[in-house]
Amino acid sequence: MLVAGAKSHVVSHQWIREAAEHYVEPEWCSRRLFEVEQFTGTIQDPSCGFGRVVDAARAAGHAVFGTDLVDRGFDGMLPPSDFFEQRTKVDNIVSNPPFKLFKRYALHALSLTSGKVALIWLTRTLAAARWLEGTPLAAVYYLTPRPSMPPGHVITAGHKPGGGKQDFCWLVFDHAHQGAPVMKWLRRDGGAK
């Protein structure tokens, strides 16, 4: 009950942590990346989950395939596999990886690719990520407005979350890149500035 003169407040979502770090980005995040970044060759998403990156890449005209540690019902996924055991080389990797394994994931992706690696990450972690200095980081795309990235079980339960409380970005590594990375805003409704 709201008492006259009292201020209302917003209750933020507190979800149960998802097994295997399966968190789902809004579809616009991948769609917008493929509108501003060029990829040559095949793309793999090693943490394809529900297939949002794969679907966006395919819609942008790319040859793409998805793999994951767990089968989450995406029809376009190859049989489940552990990305860290993968030794097969690929042209590009684009993914929303488990954040608690991010550095290991990024470095492994770089060891497998000849083109680009694009990964979603928490923006707040960038300042302390000194290991990035030794990588071919070419671009950082800050996602705006803040996307809500709930656990997969929230999506499968039919909820449509919004009002994200954390800032996310795409980190794009390019094996051909030299020099400092560019920083841009990637807007949901168009434009990268």
- Domain extent, residue 161, equals 22-187
pLDDT confidence band for 8 (50 / 70 / 90): very low
Alpha-carbon span 59 to 162, nearest angstrom = 24
Is 78 within the bounds of a domain?
A: yes
Work out the widest C-alpha separation in the chain, in whole angstroms.
Answer: 64
Pick the closest to residue 169 from 33, 66, 22 (CA basis).
33
Q: Is residue 126 part of a domain?
A: yes
What CATH number is attached to the domain comprising 156?
3.40.50.150
Task: List b or e across 83-109, with b for residues whose CB sees 16 or more CB atoms inside 10 angstroms.
Answer: beebeeebbbbbbbbbbeebeebbebb
Half-sphere exposure of 142 (CA within 13 A, CB side): 13
pLDDT at 38 over 80: yes
Helices (H), ranges, 43-157: 52-59, 102-112, 152-156
Would residue 130 count as lying in a domain? yes
Report if residue 26 sits inside a domain.
Answer: yes
User: Is 193 within a domain?
Assistant: no
Residue 12: inside a domain, yes or no?
no
Write out pLDDT tens, residues 95-112: 999 988 999 999 999 999
String of DSSP letters for 142-165: EEESPPP--BHHHHHTT-------
Task: Please state, as a whole number, how many other Cβ atoms lie within 10 Å of the Cβ of residue 72.
Answer: 19
Residue 1 located in a structural domain? no
- Domain total for the chain? 1
Range in 20-29, 123-132, 138-147, 169-178 with the lowest mean pLDDT: 20-29
Residue pLDDT, tens place only, 134-165: 999 999 999 887 665 545 445 455 656 655 56
Q: Which helix (H) or strand (E) holds 29?
A: helix 27-36
